[in-house]
Amino acid sequence: MRTPDTPPMTDIGLDHYWMPFTSNRYFQQHPKMITQAKGAYFTLSDGRRVFDCLSALWTTALGHGDPRITEAARKQLDTVDYSPPFQLTNPWAHKLANRIAAMAPEDLNRVFFTNSGSESIDTAMKIALAYHRTRGEAGRTRFIGRERGYHGVGFGGISVGGMVGNRKMFSSLMLPGVDHLSHTHNPKEMAFSQGQPAWGAHLADELERMVALHDASNIAAVIVEPIAGSTGVLVPPVGYLERLREICTKHGILLIFDEVIGGFGRFGANFSCQRLGVTPDLITFAKQITNGVVPMGGVIAREQIYQAFMNGPEHAIEFAHGYTYSGHPLAAAVGNAVLDIIEQDDLIARSRALEPVLQESFHALKGQGGITDIRNFGLAAAIDLEPIPGKPGLRGMRVLEEGINQGMLFRVSGDTVAVGPPFISTPDELRLMGETLGKVVHAVPAA
């Protein structure tokens, strides 16, 4: 249903907006525009109502249009709309930093605010480089990422990331001194896993080979997503992250966990590292901290990392880095409201309770033609589709279109379909999502 303030599609030109991560020419022929969002549903311009299967982009787990968030934003705009972040601050940013630090594991208690996941990754990389330099180990400049990893779209993030499609056009300006671990997804050994696969912990030992190749004195940090989201919910094998932690500690290498998707409840804990029982040295976050309402991100650092910078004259800037919108008062106010709602409504426990429902509904599709793998962890799951010969990604696009026709907005990346539904979803909605996905895969042409 179109609201009075929404212009009809016929009045909106589609020629000037260069859409991100979109098949723009395809979109021109098949435009889809969201005109309303409420609860766990979007309404499109043609009136169709669709279930938000991925919480927008792993972002709106509290659902859309919560009046408590709206009121917090309105109140903040009436109080302080913007405050400069350099040499001054605002109380809402400090309050939010205190609360995030209390949610983080162990002594990760220093929060540096950014505006997105991409900025958070580049910030964490700069912190790692500068940390080693302040300690007299300026030679530690090498980073190790992982194949199939996604760490945003800054040059730092795509350099340590391992998604070929994101890297190939910008290869000439990739950061030097970056290497990549093999990814952990082996369908032959772990297809149709429920939760963490039992096979694959030994893959972490490849890091020892890289240490031997480059020497530990040259390596600043290893960066991985504990659970890789953008390449299709790749769940770490049992013992894999523990082994990475062990090797990094042994050689004085910082371990960075990209929790842009995993932060604030998606995997049944404050951060996925707590659910998985492995503590890194730096955590990046974004997305769910403001429920997608206002851009915001950040890095959480161990106390000892922060203290390493606190030297020299007291009037000197210890870390020459930051953004115009770091700790923006509107974003901070919304972030505080989001954490209030998570606590008041016990949404992380609700996320954990919905996990078996999602697992059952997705793994019920095992054996259906066209589905080659199913995997899940927390309130996230994915299936791999058998590609159409010679036309990779086409089957996935058809699933996206038919899913909308049947009331479900699935997230499709190539021929992988991923879901991460809102925490406010009902068990029946998750069951219907799984049933509908099965019908959609069966309905779309396989050639």
How do the domains of the chain map onto residue ranges? 9-65+346-443, 71-344
- Which pLDDT band holds residue 447 (cuts at 50, 70, 90)? confident
pTM score of the predicted model: 0.96
pLDDT band at 13 (very low <50, low <70, confident <90, very high): confident
Q: Could you tell me which residues are beta bridge partners of residue 180? A: 145
Residue with tokens 């609700």: 350
Q: 333 near 71, Cβ under 8 Å?
A: no
First to last CA, the chain: 35
Alpha-carbon Rg for the chain, nearest whole angstrom, is 22
Q: Is the pLDDT of residue 317 over 70?
A: yes
Could you give the CA distance from residue 356 to residue 376 in angstroms, rounded to a whole number? 10
Q: Is 102 exposed, middle or buried (0-12, 13-18, 19+ CB in 10 A)?
A: exposed
Task: Specify the fold of 71-344.
Answer: Aspartate Aminotransferase; domain 2 (3.40.640)
Work out the angle between the directed axes of helices 206-214 and 240-251 (0-180°, nearest 10). Answer: 20
What is the structure's pLDDT at 78? 98
Q: What CATH architecture does domain 9-65+346-443 belong to?
A: Alpha-Beta Complex (3.90)
- pLDDT over 70 percentage in the chain: 98
Contact 404/32 with Cβ under 8 angstroms? yes
Question: Which phi and psi (to 5°) does residue 12 adopt?
Answer: -110, 115
Q: How many Å apart are CA 241 and CA 204, to the nearest integer? A: 7
- At 48-70, the pLDDT tens digits run 999 999 999 999 999 999 999 99
The count of C-alpha atoms lying within 13 angstroms of the C-alpha of 155, restricted to the half-sphere facing its C-beta, is: 8
